[in-house]
Chains A and B, each alone.
Chain A
Amino acid sequence: MGLWRVAVATAVLVAIGAVAGFATPGLARADQATVARGAYVVRAAGCLVCHTDAKNKGAPLAGGRALSTPFGTFYTPNITPDPKFGIGAWSDEDFARALGQGVAPDGHHYYPAFPYTSYTGMAARDVADLKAYIFAQAPVARANRPHDLHFPFNVRALMGIWKMLFFKPGRRARDPARDEAWNRGAYLVAHLGHCGECHTPRNFLGARDEARALAGNPSGPEGKKVPNITPHQRDGIGAWSASDLAYFLKTGFLPDGDVAGGAMTEVIEESTSHLSDSDRAAIATYLLAQIPVPEP
Chain B
Amino acid sequence: MKRIAIALAFGASTVGLILAYSTQARAVDEPENVIKYRRAVMLSMGAHTGAIVHVAKREVSFVGQVAAHARSINAMSKLITSLFPKGTGNDSAYKTRALPKIWNDWAHFAAAAKKLEAESAKLVEVAAGGDVAAIGAQLGNMGKACGGCHKPYRAKLK
Number of chain B interface residues as a range: 20 to 34
Contact A251 B50 (CB under 8 A): no
Q: Which residues of the partner chain B approach A107 to less than 8 Å between Cβ atoms?
A: none
A262, B51: Cα distance in complex, Å: 24
Q: Given A253-B49, A253-B53, is A224 in contact with B143 using a C-beta cutoff of 8 Å?
A: no
Is B78 on the interface with A (CB-CB < 8 A)? no
A227, B57: Cα distance in complex, Å: 24
Contact A261 B50 (CB under 8 A): no
Interface of A is mostly: loop
Q: Which residues of the partner chain A approach B59 to less than 8 Å between Cβ atoms?
A: 243
Is B67 on the interface with A (CB-CB < 8 A)? no
Contact A262 B151 (CB under 8 A): yes
Q: Which residue of B lies closest to A262 (CB)?
A: B156
Is B123 on the interface with A (CB-CB < 8 A)? no
Q: Which residue of B lies closest to A243 (CB)?
A: B57
| B153 CB, min distance to chain A CBs, angstroms | 8
Task: Say which residue of B52, B146, B156, B157 sits within 8 Å of A259 (CB atoms).
Answer: B146
| B24 CB, min distance to chain A CBs, angstroms | 35
Is B102 on the interface with A (CB-CB < 8 A)? no
| Chain B 35-49 interface 0/1 with A at a Cβ cutoff of 8 Å (1 = within) | 000000000011111
Is A225 on the interface with B (CB-CB < 8 A)? yes
A252, B59: Cα distance in complex, Å: 18
| Chain A 227-245 interface 0/1 with B at a Cβ cutoff of 8 Å (1 = within) | 1000000000000000100
Q: Which residues of the partner chain B approach A258 to less than 8 Å between Cβ atoms?
A: 46, 49, 146, 150
Contact A259 B150 (CB under 8 A): yes
Known pairs A243-B57, A252-B147 / 6 extra A-B pairs, C-beta < 8 Å: A251-B140, A252-B144, A256-B46, A257-B47, A259-B49, A265-B151
Q: Which residues from chain A sit less than 8 Å from chain B, CB to CB?
A: 1, 224-225, 227, 243, 247, 251-253, 255-262, 265
Listed A/B pairs (6) with beta-carbon separation below 8 Å: A225-B157, A253-B139, A257-B50, A258-B49, A259-B49, A260-B150
5 closest cross-chain pairs (CB), A and B: A257-B50, A257-B49, A261-B151, A259-B146, A261-B150
